[in-house]
Chain A
Amino acid sequence: MLSILKHTLRIANFLNWAMAALFTLLLVEPGLFKEGFRNALGVQGADEVVFTWLEWTCAMVIPIAYAVHLILTRLAAMIHDTQRGEGFSETNAQRLSVIAWALLAINVADLAFGQLSIWASKVSGEYFGWSLSLTGWFAVPLLFVLARLLREGAQMRDDLEGTV
């Protein structure tokens, strides 16, 4: 089960960077996709707003992809350690902290994306689809607490290993 999950995370990370590459291409060469987007979105008279929104969205995807990379690779490493019976360690506590910071960064980026979408909706009169999700904001403190618990657990394990 854990092996499957580990491989799934690696594939997910590959797809994450593939998507990031696609969005980077959109950012660098928006002209390549302009007609397709114009037809797909069906937005008339507000092209500049749509493409400004698209450019900023693409720009935000790159740091988010890096944050997702941090989450997926750290999670895979934690699973690897757990399979070897070394789950309770200071290293894994540090990894969980990194995951918490990365998730916080994603949530902040989501807020920025929300502001961008609200602005674009107001200017163009079209709905750009964003709603505030609290799930991620609840997960961040939870992960920080779990990281602290894991750190204390690892210290307790170290002490126990030296107890005769």
Chain B
Amino acid sequence: MPAEDDQAIVVNLEELLQDRGMTLTQLAERIGLTLANASILKTGKAKAIRFSTLAAICRELQCQPGDLLGYQEKDQ
């Protein structure tokens, strides 16, 4: 699969944060991620996510990986 196809993965972090009433800064502090990297993840610019980061986000936001990540066709 070409790397460009990874762009079809969408990150629903903003919605999850809004639902939980948490800011990105608070989440970053709780999971030990820099604010810059948290922002990269939130804006969908990340190329990959570590399982440890994913697990920490799910722990703090009380969600499943599927709630955070979604797949969307490019032209949709």
Contact = CB atoms under 8 A, between A and B. Distances in A.
Nearest to B54: A164
B48 interface: yes
B47 interface: yes
A162 B50 contact: no
Nearest to B41: A164
Nearest to A161: B47
B25 interface: no
Interface residues of B, number: 12
A91 B33 CA distance: 30
Interface in A138-164: 158-159, 161-164
Most chain B beta-carbon neighbours within 10 Å: one of A158, A162, A164: A164
A161 B46 CA distance: 9
B11 to A, nearest CB: 10
Nearest to A155: B3
Contacts of B47: 158-159, 161-163
B37 interface: yes
Nearest to B36: A164
Interface string B35-46: 001101100011
A162 B38 CA distance: 11
Given A162-B40, A162-B47, 5 more contacts: A159-B47, A162-B46, A163-B50, A164-B41, A164-B50
7 contacts: A159-B48, A162-B47, A163-B48, A164-B41, A164-B46, A164-B48, A164-B50
